[in-house]
Structure 1
């Protein structure tokens, strides 16, 4: 089972994710102090679990619906991380600092603010 989060405001307007058996763990809204000029100051966070057999499919779908600039989604289990940007999926073993750095650098090129490049690893 993978744990993750999607910021609902990160999804492109007019897109949807369908037919994924996600387990909702928490839904919350909060003000964000690190929002970029391209991001709204209040976010809705969908914290979820997804079964192992749906992880790759979900990552690919998220890469198709995430908006630009400056957004990503992530999820992980005990062994690996998925970090998803618009059009790109990074999948790496937890603790692989070189792969993490590569995913973070890609985020920087897309305008993700530095404090937001802090996913669980």
Structure 2
């Protein structure tokens, strides 16, 4: 099972995410004006999704193509109980557990593209 979320405002203008079997489970609007930084908007639309698909590669590729390169955005999801996937515009990071060195690579990349450090706290 794949479970995760993407922020609606993180998608570049004109982006379309259309994947067979991907279900939106919950949509939440959140006022994050106290913590949003730089070009991030003060109100976010959080789209929580899931899929029974065993192959998450189409999702990772679609997100990497759809996410805005500006503003420090990413999407993340879990594949089963083992793997965390963090997707930035044009980049995909996969890791298993907080001590996996690939997690540190994802965090470093996030910082390099402008994601505020407090937003890089994925629960592993």
TM-score range, shorter chain: over 0.9
SS where residue 37 of structure 1 aligns?
coil
Give the CA deviation at 1:35. Answer: 1.0
Do 2:75 and 2:87's aligned partners in 1 also have CA atoms closer than 8 Å?
yes
Give the CA deviation at 1:65. Answer: 0.8
Count of aligned positions: 121
SS where residue 56 of structure 2 aligns?
helix
What corresponds to 1:31 in structure 2?
31
Give the CA deviation at 1:54. Answer: 4.0
**Cα RMSD (Å) of the superposition?**
1.3
Q: 2:105 aligns with which of 102, 107, 110?
A: 102
Q: 2:119 aligns with which of 113, 116, 121?
A: 116
* 100-109 or 12-21, which deviates more: 12-21
Distance (Å, rounded) in 2 between the aligned partners of 1:63 and 1:108: 17
Structure 2 gap segments, 5+ residues each: none
Distance (Å, rounded) in 1 between the aligned partners of 2:89 and 2:113: 9
What corresponds to 1:92 in structure 2?
95
Do 1:6 and 1:74's aligned partners in 2 also have CA atoms closer than 8 Å?
yes
* 99-108 or 14-23, which deviates more: 14-23
Give the CA deviation at 1:15. Answer: 1.0
* TM-score (norm: length of structure 1): 0.92
Distance (Å, rounded) in 1 between the aligned partners of 2:55 and 2:46: 20
Do 1:34 and 1:116's aligned partners in 2 also have CA atoms closer than 8 Å?
no
**Aligned pairs (5 A) from 1:1-121:** 1-32=1-32, 33-67=34-68, 68-76=70-78, 77-121=80-124
SS where residue 9 of structure 2 aligns?
helix
Structure 1 gap segments, 5+ residues each: none
SS where residue 53 of structure 1 aligns?
coil
